[in-house]
Amino acid sequence: MRKPIVVLASLCALAAAAAARAAHEIPFSPDQIQRLGITLVKVAPASTLMTDRVPARVVIPPEQEHVVSSPEAGLVKSLRVAIGDQVHAGQPLAVVESPELVGLQRDFLQASAELRLAHADLARDEQLFKEGIIPERRLLTTRSRFEQAQASLEERRQALRLVGLDASGIKALEGSRALSSALVVRAPVSGAVLRQMAVVGQRVDKSAPLYRIGKLEPLWLEIRVPLDRLGSLAPGAEVGLPCPAATAAVTLVGRSVDPETQTVLLRAEVHGGTECIRPGQYLQVRVALLGAEKQWRVPSGALARSGDATMVFVRSAEGFRPLEIEVQGEDAGFSVVRADLRGDELVAASGIAAIKAVWLGQGGNK
DSSP string, 37-86: T--EEE-EE--EEEPPPEEEEEE--GGGEEEEE-SS-EEEEEE---TT-E
Can you give the pLDDT at residue 49? 60
Q: Give the span between the Cα atoms of 355 and 319, in whole angstroms.
A: 9
Read off the DSSP letter of residue 254.
Answer: E
Is residue 157 in some structural domain? yes
Shared-domain flag, residues 322 and 343: yes
Can you give the pLDDT at residue 46? 72
pLDDT at 21 over 60: no
* CATH classification at residue 79: 2.40.50.100
Model confidence pLDDT, tens digit, residues 95-132: 999 988 899 999 999 999 999 999 999 999 999 999 99
Model confidence pLDDT, tens digit, residues 178-192: 898 899 999 999 999
Is residue 251 in some structural domain? yes
**If you average pLDDT over residues 86-98, what whole number do you get?**
94
Can you give the pLDDT at residue 307? 84
278's enclosing H/E stretch is none
* CATH classification at residue 163: 1.10.287
Q: Count the neighbouring beta carbons within 10 Å of the beta carbon of residue 226.
A: 13
Q: Give the span between the Cα atoms of 354 and 48, in whole angstroms.
A: 32
Shared-domain flag, residues 317 and 332: yes
Q: What share of the chain in percent tops pLDDT 70?
A: 87
Can you give the pLDDT at residue 64? 95
Read off the DSSP letter of residue 302.
Answer: G
pLDDT at 4 over 80: no
Can you give the pLDDT at residue 293? 59
Q: Give the span between the Cα atoms of 353 and 36, in whole angstroms.
A: 10
* Number of structural domains in the chain: 4
Is residue 11 in some structural domain? no
Q: Give the span between the Cα atoms of 68 and 66, in whole angstroms.
A: 6
**If you average pLDDT over residues 223-232, what whole number do you get?**
79
Give the HSE-up count for residue 137: Cα atoms under 13 Å, Cβ half-sphere. 0
**If you average pLDDT over residues 137-158, what whole number do you get?**
94
Q: Give the span between the Cα atoms of 10 and 229, in whole angstroms.
A: 39
Q: What share of the chain in percent tops pLDDT 90?
A: 54
Can you give the pLDDT at residue 12? 45
Is residue 67 in some structural domain? no
266's enclosing H/E stretch is strand 263-271
Is residue 324 in some structural domain? yes
| C-alpha closest to that of 350 among 313, 295, 297 | 313
Can you give the pLDDT at residue 125? 93
Pairing of strands 191-196, 182-186: unpaired
Residue 335: give the domain boundaries. 23-47+293-359
**If you average pLDDT over residues 167-181, what whole number do you get?**
88
Residue where a domain terminates, one of 284, 309, 335: 284
**If you average pLDDT over residues 58-74, what whole number do you get?**
94
Is residue 15 in some structural domain? no
Instruction: Classify residue 120 by burial, with Cβ atoms within 10 Å: 0-12, 13-18, 19+.
Output: exposed
